[in-house]
Structure 1
Amino acid sequence: MGLIAILFYILTVAAQWVVFQKAGIAGWKSIIPIYNSYCLFKIAWGNGWVFLATIIPLVGVIVDFMCMYKLAKSFDKGLGFCLGLFFLRPVFYIILAFSDDEYIGPNGNRVYVA
């Protein structure tokens, strides 16, 4: 069972790597634990520092949900995909990474981030 969990984790990291590359961020940044959250919020919100709000109890869950909604919108997806990202994040990261969806940026404005 542990081997399956490790393989699933590696596949999830690989998917996040591809999602980062689609958004114009170097894929290796998905490997570094707190920094990858910053980069994910930068992809979804356009401002990475919003991720600090996830530290606050209860507010963190709301901000995380909003991030998943904005991430889905950044790839031209809807509320259903947002719910999938929120509840089944690894599976929907894989779907997002290995589909031919393009990053359109927060609020439909393509932002090139480094």
Structure 2
Amino acid sequence: MIFLLFLILFAFAFVIFLIASQWKVFEKAGQPGWACIVPIYNTYVLLKIAGKPGWWLLLLFVPFVNIVFAIWTVNMISKSFGKDEGFTAGLILLGFVFWPILGFGSAQYLGPYGDPEEFAARQNASRFDFEH
């Protein structure tokens, strides 16, 4: 009985720690930290942090397609904080270690894609130029 109580308390503390980690990631990206605890909305905010359009949220509900787009989103979040594909693999496979590193570590949010100029260029490339 005591072991079960200890296990429950440990699991609760671990979940709180992971929520705090993601809260910090959201705040580093200039988003409200509380958004990480709201289901579905937290994914929408992560898409904004990654620089992806909001309609991608619908793709995350399509079986098999969601796996590709979820990995792509996590990769763009990693890039947005100046990390590489190895860190992306860590976020996917060992998220309980790498999300706290991202949240509490020295990583700074650089903007979507990790390069604000590239993000602006990609956003402007899809717009129609009426003057030319």
Alignment counterpart, residue 25 of structure 2, candidates 15, 19, 37: 19
Task: Name the CA distance, whole Å, in 2 between partners of 1:51 and 1:88.
Answer: 23
Aligned to 1:101: 107
Q: Does 1:51 align with 2:57?
A: yes
Alignment counterpart, residue 3 of structure 1, candidates 9, 12, 15: 9
Task: Name the CA distance, whole Å, in 1 between partners of 2:55 and 2:45.
Answer: 9
Over the matched positions of the two proteins, sequence identity in percent amounts to: 41
Deviation per CA, 1:15-65, whole angstroms, max 9, x where unpaired? 111100100001111111111111011101342331221111111011111
Bigger shift: residues 74-83 or 38-47 = 38-47
Alignment counterpart, residue 73 of structure 1, candidates 45, 58, 79: 79
Q: So what's the TM-score if we normalise by structure 2? A: 0.78
Higher RCO, 1 vs 2 (CA within 8 Å, ≥6 residues apart)? 1
Aligned to 2:89: 83
State the Cα RMSD in Å.
Answer: 1.6
Structure 2 unaligned regions, length at least 5: 1-6, 120-132
State the 4+ residue runs in structure 1 displaced beyond 3 angstroms: none
Inter-CA distance 59–46: structure 2 relative to 1 (3 Å threshold): closer
Task: Name the CA distance, whole Å, in 1 between partners of 2:55 and 2:96.
Answer: 23
Structure 1 unaligned regions, length at least 5: none
- Which structure has the bigger radius of gyration? 2
Q: So what's the TM-score if we normalise by structure 1? A: 0.89
2:72 is matched by which residue type in structure 1?
Answer: M
Task: Name the CA distance, whole Å, in 1 between partners of 2:19 and 2:55.
Answer: 22
Matched residues, number: 111
